[in-house]
Amino acid sequence: MPEKVKLFINGTVHEVYKGTRILDYLLSQDIQHPHVCYSEILGPVQSCDTCMCEVNGEIMRACSTVVEEGMNILTSSELAKKSQEEAMDRILENHLLYCTVCDNNNGNCRVHNTAELMGIEHQTRPYRSKGYEVDMSHPFYRYDPEQCILCGRCVETCQDLQVNESLTIDWESQQPRVLWDGGKSINESSCVSCGQCVSVCPCNALMEKSMLGNAGIMTGIEDDLLTPMIDLVKAVEPDYQTIFAVSEVEAAMRETQIKKTKTVCTFCGVGCSFEVWTKDHEILKIEPSENAPVNSVSTCVKGKFGWDFVNSQERITTPLIRKGDVFEEATWDEALDLVAEKLGGIRDQYGSDALGFIASSKITNEENYLIQKLSRQVFGTNNVDNCSRYCQSPASWGLQQTGGIGGDSGTIKDIAGAGLVMLVGCAPGEGHPVLASRIKRAHKLHGQKLITVDVRKHEMAERADIFVRPKQGTDYVWLSAVTKYIIDQGWHDEEFIQKHVNQYDEFLKKLAPYSLEEAEKVTGITKETLIQMAKMIHEADGTAICWGMGVTQNIAGSHTSAAIANLLLTTGNMMRKNAGAFPLRGHNNVQGASDMGTMPNIFPGYQSVADDEIRAKFEKSYGVTLPAKPGLDNIQMLESIDNDELKGMYIVGEDMAWVDADSNHTQAMLEKLDFLVVQEIFLTTTAQFADVILPGVPSLEKAGTFTNTERRVQRLYQALEPTGNSKPDWWILQQVAGRMGYNWNFEDPSEIFAEMAGLTPFFTHCNYGVLEGWNSFNWGSPDGTDTPVLYLNGFNFPDKKARFGLFDYVPPFEFPNEFDLSLDNGRLLEHFHEGNLTHKSEGLQYKFPKVFVEVSPELAKERSVKDGTLVRLVSPYGAVRLPVLVTDRMEGKSVYVPMHSASHESAVNLLTGGAFDVVTNTPAYKQTKVRMEVLEKEGENPLPKFNPRHAKRTPQMGLEIYRKWERGDYAPISSVNEHVQPGLYDRRNA
Amino acid sequence: MAKPIQIIKKVELTEEQKKTQSLESLLSEVAENKDSLLDTLELLQELHNSGILEALNSLVKAKEEVAKIAVGQMTREPVTNLINNAMAAGGALTTLDPEMTSKLMGSLAKGFEKAEEGLRSNSKVGILDLLKVLNDPDINRAIGFGLNLLKGVGEGLKE
C-alpha cells in the first residue's frame, strides 16, 4: 500500500495517498471543482486554467499539483475563485453561449456545465471572432474555430492517446486554432477519422455531422432565422445563469427525444463499448465514455461512424422463400414451417449428420449457444462450427496445448503495460485500431519497445524499433531459433520452467536443429537481427506477443502458435501481468462463438462432446441422447456436400461464399445442397443460394452479450426496434426449435445466458446482474470467477503445470513456378471483412471506394505498371481484376489485396485455396501464389487523394502547452507554470 | 441445384389492400383510445366553432415566416429595451425583503383607513396642529420612514 499524507482541504483534515493529484482526489470525494481540459485518461493538459486552488497561499492548478504533507488547500477562497473566474472569462472570449440552439446542448457540455457550476453571470472580455471559416470538408465531422476554446484536448488525444499525430495548435500565431497536418483541410489531412477529437471536445467546436441540425429541439432552424435569434439573445444580454436555465429546459426536452443506449462495437474483436444516441430509428452519434472498460473514450472510424448499414434500404426485412428463379416474400409462419418440414425431412430420410449448422461471430453469445443447442438437441448432430475456423482456431489450439486455455493471457492493459510488444503477422493499426493506439501510446510516452514481424510494412511496422520481414510462412523457425538462443545464453527463466512447465527436456531436443544460421537460411532474417530480438525479450520487463492471421492462416498456423507460447513459457512471460500471449480476435464475438460451443467437438466452455460425464450433464439438461462423436467442421461440411452426404445447411450471419477460401468451390458446394436456410440481414452472396432466408437483426436491434479478444463478456442493450418484419436471431432460433417440437420458452436473452452459465464452469459466477451497464466479466478460471489475467493460480491442467508444445515445422505450400508472386491479403482500416456492412456507408466508401492490389516499387518497375494500371491476378483456383497501387509498404515479389470485396470481379478468396492448417483445417489463405497480367496500362489511382494514406503526419509530444505560456501576451494565472507531459501520469498497468 | 438468386419479388399490395390494412390498424387504435379520442373531438369542435382552429392552422402553415417576423420585431431596440427593462424591474423586485414589503403594504392600508376617517370629520389642520402631531409617535415613525426612503433613492440615483 502506498503511503498517505495528511493535508487540509477547506479546513478539514484529509488523508490522501502520496502521488495523488489534487483534482483526482477532489473528484474521487465528489467535491465539485471546476475543470474543463482535464480528463482522467488524458491527464493534466493544463490549458484551461479553471481548476485553480489556493495552495499554501499560492495559486496552483488542481489538475497537475501533487498532494504533499501538511498542504493547506482552499478550493473556493476569494483568491481561488477570482483565478477560476479569470480563466473562464478567457475561455468565453472564444466561445459564444448560444446553448439553447446548439446541437451540443445535451446535458454533457463541459464548457456549459463548468460555467454554470462556477455561477458565472457576465464576462468582462466580450466574445470576439478569430476570423476563420468553419471546416466542413470531412465526411464525418466538422471544426468551427469560432467556437473553439483552445483547450487542446483534441490535440492531446490525437497526438498521445490515439497517436495518429494529425492535430496541432499553432500557439505562435496571432489567433491560434487547431490545425490538421499543419494547415490542410481536414479531409485532405492524415486524419484517420477515429472521431476521438470530437468525442473529447468539451464544447461544440468539433461536432459529428450527423448531429448538426438534428439533436436539438430548435437546432434544425435555417440560418436566416437562427442568426437573428442568436443576435436577440446577445442584444437582450440576460445574465448567463438565465441562459443556462433556459438551455437546461431545452436539454431536458431533448432527453425525451434522444435515446442513449449502451452497446458493444461489432467491427473487430477489441470490444469497444459506447453509447449510441438515437432519435426514432435514426442514429445520431456514437458517444464513448470513460467508463468503458476496454476503450474508454477511444473509437476507430468504423465504430464511431460506420453504422449506416443498420438503416440501409437493402436490409432484408421479411422472410423470403425461393420460388423458381426469384425469392418471394413470405410470412414467418410460412417460412418457419418450411424450414422445419425440410430440415426435419432430411434428418428423417438421411439421418442427423446429413445436416450442418454454421454459427456466426457477429451474433450474440446467447444466439451462438442456441445454435449449438438447435444442432445437438433438436437435430441430433455435432455438425456445428463457426468462422473461427477461418481465422483463429490455430491460435486457440496452440494455447490450449500449452497453457490449457485458448484465449488472450490478459487484457488490453497488459499489452499497454508490457515492456516489449511483439506483433507477429498482425496489423492492429488497420484491423484493431483502438488496441493499436494503446501500443502506440506506450511506445511514444512510456518507453515500451516494439518489434513488428510482417511481410507488409504497415503503420505498426513503421513505428517499430525493429521491423522484420521474414519469408512468408516461416515464423515457426525464427521463433524457435530465438527461443533456443535465449536458452543458450542462459537468459531463460529456469526457475519458472522447473516449477511450472512440463516437457522441458523433450522441448530442448525439439529445438536443437534451430540454430541462428539455420533460421537465417529459412526465414531470411539475419543472425544479428535474431540476436537483437532475443536481447530485447531478455531485457524487457514483460513481453506481450500479439499475433493474427499472418500466423494462423498457414499450414503450420497451429504449430507456430504453440511456438509462440513456448517462447513465452521459456522466458517466464506467462502467469503474470503485463506479458503473455494475445491472439487478436478479428470479430466482435469470434471468441464468444467458440466459447459457446458452436464447434464440432465441444459443448460451451470447451467441454468435450466425447467426455461421457460432460455429455451426461448436457443430456440431462436437454432431455435427449446426444451424439458422442465430434461432428464436421466448416471445411469438412463442404467436402461432405461434395460426397453427397451432407444435404441440408443452416447458416447464420456468415457470408461463407466469400470468406471461405476458394470461393468458386464454396459456391459450387452451396449450389449442390438440397436445402439451405440462411439467417441474414442482407441478401449476401451466400443468401442468394438459400431456399429460405430468415431476416435477423444487427446488434443495435437486440439485446445480448459479446465476448471480446480479452475473454471479456459485455452486455449490449437494444437501441432500436427491429426493422420491418425482421426478428432478433435468438427469437428465430427458438421458433425453429418450437416447430420441431422443442419448447425452449426463453422470454429474454438473460434466461439463455443463465442456462448456459449453469452448464459451463467458466461462467459459474457470471450473470446479467454482474454485467449490468458498463460492467464486464473476463472468464478464464475453472471455478468460474472473473479472471482478467490467466493462470495466476496455475495453468489449466490437472497438475496446474503448462506444457511445452512439441510440434514440428511444416514448410509452406508449394506452387507451380508460373505463379511467381506471393499474395498477402487482409483487412484495411476503413472497411470490415468482405464489406457487406461498411460498403453501405457513404462516408467510408468516399474515403475508400474500392479494393486494389498493392505492388512494390521494384515489381512495378519490372512489370511496367503504375498507380491505376488494371491487372489480372491468376492463381490455380481463380482470377480477379484489380487496379494497381504502387507502395513501399510492399517489397519485392509480394503483393497485397484487401479482402473488402463481395464481387466476382475482385474478391480475394477467388484466388486462395488448396492448403489447410495441419491440425485445425483453417485454410492457408496467406500461402497463395499468383501471376499478374497487365490489362490496361492507364487508369485512375484507386485510392482517392483525400485518403489519409497519402498525407504526412505532424507528430509532436502532445499539446505543447508551454508554447502558449511563452507567448508575450499570456498573463499567468497560476503562481507556477511547469510543463508536465500529460500522458506520463498514466502509469503502467501497476 | 440452387442457382444464386438476386431478385426479390415483393408482395405488391393492391391499392384496395393497402387501404384496408391502413383502416384496420387505424380502427384498432381508435378502439383502444376511445375516451381520449372523444374528449379530443369535443375540444376540436369548440376550437373550430370559435375560429381559433382556423387561425392556428394558418399560423402553423406560416410558422417559419411568422417566427422570422417575431424574432425580427424582438430584436428592434425598443423591444430589447422593453425586455431589458422588464428584466431589470424583475431583478429589482427580487432584492426586496418580502417581510418588509408586506409590513409596508399593511401600514399603507391602515393609513388609508385613518385618512378616510379624517376626511369624514372634515376638520381644518393649522400650523400648530402640524407641530403638535410631530410628537405623535405613529406620525413621527412615518415621517422618519419617508425621509430615509428619500435618502436611499437619492443614493441610488448617484450610482
**Domain membership flag for residue B69:** yes
- pTM score: 0.91
C-alpha cell at A859: 515489381
**Domain membership flag for residue B3:** no
Residues from chain A that touch B9, judged by Cβ atoms under 8 A, are 323, 326-329
Residue in chain B closest to A322 (alpha carbons) equals B5
B66 touches chain A (CB under 8 A): no
**One domain for residues B128 and B105:** yes
User: Rounded to an integer, what is the distance from CA A874 to the centroid of its chain?
Assistant: 33
**Domain membership flag for residue B118:** yes
Pick the CATH number of A320-390+590-600+611-739 from 3.30.1600.10, 3.40.50.740, 3.40.50.10490, 3.10.129.10: 3.40.50.740
C-alpha cell at A871: 491487372
**Contact predicate A72/A81, CB 8 Å:** no
Three-state secondary structure call for residue A862: helix
A1 touches chain B (CB under 8 A): no
pLDDT digits (tens, 9 = 90+) for A244-266: 888 888 888 888 889 999 999 99
- Containing A732, the helix (H) or strand (E) segment is helix A729-739
Please name the residue that has the C-alpha cell 508444445: A805
**One domain for residues B104 and B154:** yes
Residue B131: other Cβ atoms inside 10 A: 9
Domains in chain A: boundaries? 4-82, 93-309, 320-390+590-600+611-739, 393-583, 821-950
Q: How far is B94 from chain A (nearest CA, A)?
A: 14
A325 touches chain B (CB under 8 A): yes
Q: How confident is the model at residue A985 (pLDDT cuts 50, 70, 90)?
A: low
Backbone phi, then psi, for A74, in 5-degree steps?
-115, 120
Say what percent of chain A tops pLDDT 70. Answer: 99
In this complex, which of B3, B64, B83 lies closest to A236 when CB atoms are compared?
B83
The full length of chain B comes to: 159
**One domain for residues B146 and B124:** yes
**Domain membership flag for residue B8:** no
Residue in chain B closest to A684 (alpha carbons) equals B6
Q: How far is it, in rounded angstroms, from Cα A338 to Cα A139? A: 45
What mean pLDDT value characterizes chain A? 95
**One domain for residues B138 and B122:** yes
Q: What is the pLDDT of residue B62?
A: 77
In Å, how far are A100, A256, A287, A591 from A249, measured between CA atoms?
9, 11, 22, 45
This complex has an ipTM of: 0.80
pLDDT digits (tens, 9 = 90+) for A64-100: 999 999 999 999 999 999 999 999 999 999 998 888 8
**One domain for residues B67 and B118:** no
Q: What is the pLDDT of residue B159?
A: 63
- Architecture category of domain A93-309 in CATH: 2-Layer Sandwich (3.30)
Residues from chain B that touch A228, judged by Cβ atoms under 8 A, are 68, 71-72, 75
Residues from chain B that touch A325, judged by Cβ atoms under 8 A, are 3, 5, 7
Q: What is the pLDDT of residue A1?
A: 66
Q: How far is it, in rounded angstroms, from Cα A744 to Cα A734? A: 7
Q: What is the pLDDT of residue A986?
A: 62
**Domain membership flag for residue B14:** no
A709 touches chain B (CB under 8 A): no
Nearest CA-CA partner of A328 in B41, B8, B79: B8
**Contact predicate A543/A520, CB 8 Å:** no
Indicate the residue among B67, B95, B123 that finishes a domain.
B95
Q: How far is it, in rounded angstroms, from Cα A153 to Cα A201? A: 6
> pLDDT at residue A987 above 70?
no
Q: How far is A731 from chain B (nearest CA, A)?
A: 24
> pLDDT at residue A990 above 60?
no
A691 touches chain B (CB under 8 A): yes
**Contact predicate A441/A164, CB 8 Å:** no
Backbone phi, then psi, for A285, in 5-degree steps?
-170, 170
Q: How many domains does chain B have?
A: 2
Does B75 sit within 8 Å of A328, measured CB to CB? no
Alpha helices (runs of H) in A285-389, residue ranges in sequence order: 301-305, 332-350, 365-373
Nearest CA-CA partner of A707 in A244, A277, A368: A368
Indicate the residue among B52, B79, B95 that finishes a domain.
B95
**One domain for residues B62 and B110:** no
Residue in chain A closest to B72 (alpha carbons) equals A228
DSSP string over A445-501: HS--EEEEE-SS--HHHHT-SEEE-PPTT-HHHHHHHHHHHHHHTT-S-HHHHHHHE
Q: How far is it, in rounded angstroms, from Cα A596 to Cα B122? A: 104
Q: What is the pLDDT of residue A100?
A: 81
Question: B-contacting residues of A 103-122, CB under 8 Å?
Answer: none
> pLDDT at residue A414 above 90?
yes
In Å, how far are A664, B104, B141, B148 from B97, measured between CA atoms?
88, 11, 20, 16
**Domain membership flag for residue B63:** yes
**Test mutation, B71, B83, B95, chain A, max A CBs within 10 A:** B71
pLDDT digits (tens, 9 = 90+) for A2-48: 799 999 999 999 999 998 999 999 999 999 999 999 988 898 999 99
**One domain for residues B75 and B108:** no
Residues from chain B that touch A236, judged by Cβ atoms under 8 A, are 80, 83-84, 87
Q: What is the pLDDT of residue A547?
A: 98
A656 touches chain B (CB under 8 A): no
Q: Strand A879-886 to strand A853-855: parallel, antiparallel, or no bridges (unpaired)? A: parallel
DSSP 8-class letter at A158: I
Q: Which domain holds residue B82?
A: 33-95
Residue in chain A closest to B13 (alpha carbons) equals A329
**Test mutation, B7, B8, B82, chain A, max A CBs within 10 A:** B8
Nearest CA-CA partner of A59 in A76, A36, A37: A76
Please name the residue that has the C-alpha cell 478479428: A586
What CATH number belongs to A4-82?
3.10.20.740
Q: Which position has the higher pLDDT, A179 or A242?
A: A179
Say what percent of chain A tops pLDDT 90. Answer: 90
Q: Which residues of A898-922 are buried (b: 16+ CB within 10 A; e: fewer)?
A: bbbbbbeebbbbbbbbbbbbbbbbb
pLDDT digits (tens, 9 = 90+) for B7-55: 999 888 889 988 998 899 888 888 888 888 888 888 888 888 888 888 8
Q: How far is it, in rounded angstroms, from Cα A24 to Cα A73? A: 14
Three-state secondary structure call for residue B81: helix
**One domain for residues B45 and B86:** yes
Residue type, A940: E
> How far from each other are the two terminal CA atoms of chain B, in whole angstroms?
96
* Interacting residues of A334 by C-beta distance below 8 A, sequence separation 6+: A319, A321
- Architecture category of domain A393-583 in CATH: 3-Layer(aba) Sandwich (3.40)
Residue in chain A closest to B12 (alpha carbons) equals A329
Indicate the residue among B95, B114, B133 that finishes a domain.
B95
**Contact predicate A369/A597, CB 8 Å:** yes
**Domain membership flag for residue B20:** no
Residues from chain A that touch B74, judged by Cβ atoms under 8 A, are 232
Task: Name the β-bridge partners of A52.
Answer: A61
What CATH number belongs to A821-950?
2.40.40.20
**One domain for residues B70 and B101:** no
Which segments of A479-564 are extended strands (E)? 501-502, 543-547
Q: How far is it, in rounded angstroms, from Cα A92 to Cα A148? A: 10
Q: How far is A8 from chain B (nearest CA, A)?
A: 36
**One domain for residues B48 and B58:** yes
**One domain for residues B73 and B62:** yes
Residues from chain B that touch A690, judged by Cβ atoms under 8 A, are 2
Q: How confident is the model at residue A947 (pLDDT cuts 50, 70, 90)?
A: very high
Q: What is the pLDDT of residue A238?
A: 66
C-alpha cell at A927: 500461402
**One domain for residues B54 and B88:** yes
Q: What is the pLDDT of residue A263?
A: 98
**Domain membership flag for residue B109:** yes
Q: How far is it, in rounded angstroms, from Cα A689 to Cα A667? A: 8
Residue in chain B closest to A222 (alpha carbons) equals B64
Does A327 sit within 8 Å of B7, measured CB to CB? yes
* Interacting residues of B97 by C-beta distance below 8 A, sequence separation 6+: none
Q: How confident is the model at residue A988 (pLDDT cuts 50, 70, 90)?
A: low
pLDDT digits (tens, 9 = 90+) for B95-146: 778 788 788 788 888 888 888 887 777 777 777 777 788 788 888 888 888 8
A314 touches chain B (CB under 8 A): no
